[in-house]
Amino acid sequence: FLVSLYKFMKDRHTPIERIPHLGFKQINLWKIYKAVEKLGAYELVTGRRLWKNVYDELGGSPGSTSAATCTRRHYE
């Protein structure tokens, strides 16, 4: 999965230079991908404003006010 992801991102000229973090926790890229897929993929998650659900699925801190936005940006 990671090899394909890194190649995909490099091919679209947005390489992953380092694994993103939410709070002080490194994001498991496979886990975030599967969480978004489970909720219906990027367009549906964005359209239905489900990024907070993805954040919660990743075990994020419940008090974060920017959780949805940060999660979406990291996924993108």
Compute φ and ψ for 23, nearest 5 degrees.
65, -125
- What is the reported pLDDT for 51? 95
CA dihedral 2, 10, 20, 59 (to 10 degrees): -40
- Sorted by where each begins, the domain ranges of the chain are 1-75
What CATH architecture applies to the domain 1-75? Orthogonal Bundle (1.10)
- What is the reported pLDDT for 54? 94
- What is the reported pLDDT for 33? 95
Give me the residues of the chain with pLDDT under 50, please: none
**Residues 6 or more apart in contact with residue 69 via CB below 8 angstroms:** 51
- What is the reported pLDDT for 32? 95
DSSP bridge partners of 22: 25
* Model pLDDT for residues 26-36, shown as the tens digit of each residue: 899 999 999 99
